[in-house]
A and B are shown apart, each in its own frame.
Chain A
């Protein structure tokens, strides 16, 4: 069969076009793609606790029987106290400042029963401090991310407690919740 010249040219042109598309790099660029994404996180200021005052039970008169002094979180001597207070002015509740995220709530962990003892002069008996309490309603940071609270407790004076100066320490822990 006789083919015309114009048809022959068209056949050759199509074949060349097909060969060009077969290079390896062209095939890979069409078959895979990688896209990058950001990962973001922000760590806010953690909770910080600072002590600004110690717990002080003041001066107590010795007695034959056991007595106790209960100090409230606001620093007052509770009315149930049966010990004779010699120097009430020296009584202070412990004081703490908390800083962190504005408006966040947190819990206050106080020492448990039997965990805190005051030790005194040689030969004296230790005195137990128990019943720790924090300022009622504490646990929410204000708009500036701060709050202050007091801590009181009950000191038990043993019968015939030796006179002298007694001291000890205790921990308070705050945690976001």
Chain B
């Protein structure tokens, strides 16, 4: 029953329904970002730490080089005296068949000792640093990281330990 003096905009049930549906459609058309479009997060997991084993200097200065491609380690002015000698290995998981970028340490790792420093430098990887990784059809990839350790015959005996980071990204 309408009262005198009031004006009503009477919308039929049908009109109200159409207006609400139009509002919903506008929300749906907001574009999604690239990140949301990649279904699987990239994840790096350590498989094997980098290890230079046990060494003794045979010259005033020397190096041990670990190669990421499976080539045997190179000793110069140093001899190996046991232990595991291996580059580091990481398993990377991500979106199958997608490429990814590998980032290695930018600066040398310096391991101080009582009589001098051991230096780990020239980090190299397989695949090479940069946008060179590719996931296989199972969404997996392996990154191996080698480096060169430099030492002198003045370094005192004992363990020399440190860490390094591997970063991967789409």
**B7 sits at the interface (CB 8 A):** no
Minimum CB distance partner of B91 in chain A: A35
**Assuming the A-B contacts A32-B167, A37-B90, A37-B163, are A15 and B24 also in contact, with contact meaning beta carbons closer than 8 angstroms in the complex?**
yes
**B83 sits at the interface (CB 8 A):** yes
Distance of A22 Cα from B27 Cα, bound (Å): 13
Against B, the Cβ 8 Å flags (1 = close, 0 = not) of A44-85 are: 111100000000000000000000000000000000000000
Q: How many residues of A contact B (CB 8 A)?
A: 44
Cβ–Cβ < 8 Å partners of B28 in chain A: 11, 14-15, 18
Question: Of A3, A26, A36, A41, which contacts B165 at CB under 8 A?
Answer: A36
**A165 sits at the interface (CB 8 A):** no
**Assuming the A-B contacts A31-B35, A35-B45, are A3 and B18 also in contact, with contact meaning beta carbons closer than 8 angstroms in the complex?**
yes
**A16 sits at the interface (CB 8 A):** yes
Judging by beta carbons under 8 Å apart, are B21 and A34 in contact? Answer: no
Distance of A166 Cα from B38 Cα, bound (Å): 88
Judging by beta carbons under 8 Å apart, are A22 and B36 in contact? Answer: yes
Cβ–Cβ < 8 Å partners of B162 in chain A: 38-39
Chain B stretch 1-52: residues in CB contact (< 8 A) with chain A: 14, 17-18, 20-21, 23-25, 27-28, 30, 32-36, 38, 40-46, 49-52
Judging by beta carbons under 8 Å apart, are A30 and B166 in contact? Answer: no
**Assuming the A-B contacts A21-B32, A34-B44, A40-B49, are A2 and B14 also in contact, with contact meaning beta carbons closer than 8 angstroms in the complex?**
yes
Give the Cβ gap from A25 to chain B, nearest Cβ, in Å.
10
Give the Cβ gap from B15 to chain A, nearest Cβ, in Å.
10
Minimum CB distance partner of A101 in chain B: B81
* In the A-B complex, the 4 residue pairs with the closest CB atoms: A27-B35, A15-B27, A11-B24, A32-B169
Question: Which B residues form the contact surface with A (CB < 8 A)?
Answer: 14, 17-18, 20-21, 23-25, 27-28, 30, 32-36, 38, 40-46, 49-58, 64, 79, 81, 83, 88, 90, 109, 111, 113, 118, 120, 145, 147, 149, 151, 153, 155-170
A37-B49, A39-B111 provided; 10 other pairs, C-beta below 8 A?
Answer: A32-B42, A32-B167, A35-B166, A35-B168, A39-B161, A41-B149, A42-B158, A45-B56, A46-B57, A175-B58
Complex A-B: 18 CB contacts under 8 Å = A4-B17, A7-B21, A15-B24, A15-B30, A22-B36, A30-B35, A30-B41, A31-B170, A32-B42, A33-B169, A36-B163, A37-B163, A38-B161, A39-B49, A40-B51, A41-B54, A43-B155, A104-B81
